[in-house]
Amino acid sequence: MTVKGLINGIRIIVESDPDAASRTAAELIARQIAEKTDCVLGLATGGTPVQTYERLIQMNASGEVDFARVTTFNLDEYIGLDRQHSQSYRVFMNTHLFNHINIDLNRTFVPDGCAGDIPRHCAEYESMIQSAGGIDLQLLGLGHNGHIAFNEPGSPVNSRTRQVDLTAETIEKNARFFPTINDVPRHAITMGIATILEAKSILLLALGEAKSDAVDAMLQGPITQSHPASLLRNHNDVTVVLDEAAAGKTSVVDRSAISMD
Ligand code: PGA
């Protein structure tokens, strides 16, 4: 069953399981593309969006969504991994989405973790987003500690694309993708909180019980830099898609379900 509601100005959709939630996220992305065929999408990596991308690939194959005129900007990239590294976010995006849809790879942008002059590269990344007309729909995952992209707790609300240090917790969580924890990069390039909040609309997907505390803090805790996702409540067009496990103790909709169709 789908439950829809509104908590502190954020639209919430709760689906029964990760598969249904991912289908819903894919449909919202497809709807954005249908509304504006040359839209600019902000995209995310990590475990969370994988099924959403699988669904978009299926929808593209069946003609339900057309990426021919779409431009994308990814949120972040590890510093020190080149574009061919198996754990780079460029390879992740090519493998999980771009190689399987009719997108022009020249219009897919991921920060370059091996840029020689990182501050300059970050400034150029911001300029490229502006030149493309800004992000129409930004897809986000949610960190256990409330991070969005690699904006860890304490990230300033006015932060823009920049180099950041990863927290010990994030390094530990991401170690599952590397041979050993020592192979996980310690630094990354990430869009900032301000960059993300400038997107015209935001779609955050969170799946699984392990995210339920972070979801609850995002929706119902204080709006604070200590929990970066809570800053999304300063944006006027945010949709959060959850499975029941991630919704956890969030009393979705305090039973005042609203229609969003
Ligand atoms: P995950 O990461 O999708 O792998 O859970 C999300 C995040 O840390 O932003």
134 within ligand 1 shell (Cβ under 6 A): no
> Dihedral, CA atoms, 124, 126, 128, 131, nearest 10 degrees?
-130
User: Rounded to the nearest whole angstrom, what is the distance from the C-alpha of residue 189 to the centroid of ligand 1?
Assistant: 16
Which amino acid residue places its CA nearest to atom 7 of ligand 1? Answer: 143
CB 21 within 8 A of CB 196: no
User: Which residue among 43, 45, 48, 147 has the greatest number of ligand 1 atoms within 8 angstroms of its CB, and so is best to mutate?
Assistant: 48
18 within ligand 1 shell (Cβ under 6 A): no
User: Distance between CA 7 and CA 9 in Å, rounded?
Assistant: 5
Would you state the pLDDT for residue 252? 62
156 within ligand 1 shell (Cβ under 6 A): no
What is this structure's pTM?
0.95
Q: Is 26 helix (H, G, I), strand (E, B) or coil?
A: helix
Nearest atom in ligand 1 to 147's CA: 9
| DSSP code per residue over 50-69 | HHHHHHHHHHHHTTS---TT
Question: Which region, left, alpha or beta, applies to residue 220 given φ > 0 means left and ψ of -120 to 50 means alpha?
Answer: alpha
User: Which residue among 77, 142, 167, 203 has the greatest number of ligand 1 atoms within 8 angstroms of its CB, and so is best to mutate?
Assistant: 142
Q: How many residues make up the chain in this entry?
A: 261
Phi/psi of residue 12, nearest 5 degrees = -120, 135
User: Rounded to the nearest whole angstrom, what is the distance from the C-alpha of residue 141 to the centroid of ligand 1?
Assistant: 5
46 within ligand 1 shell (Cβ under 6 A): yes
Q: pLDDT per position in the chain (261 positions), as tens? A: 788 999 999 999 999 999 999 999 999 999 999 999 999 999 999 999 999 999 999 999 999 999 999 999 999 999 999 999 999 999 999 999 999 999 999 999 999 999 999 999 999 999 999 999 999 999 999 999 999 999 999 999 999 999 999 999 989 989 999 999 999 999 999 999 999 999 999 999 999 999 999 999 999 999 999 999 999 999 999 999 999 999 987 766 544 444 444
| Active-site amino acid positions | 76, 145, 147, 152
Class of domain 3-254: alpha beta
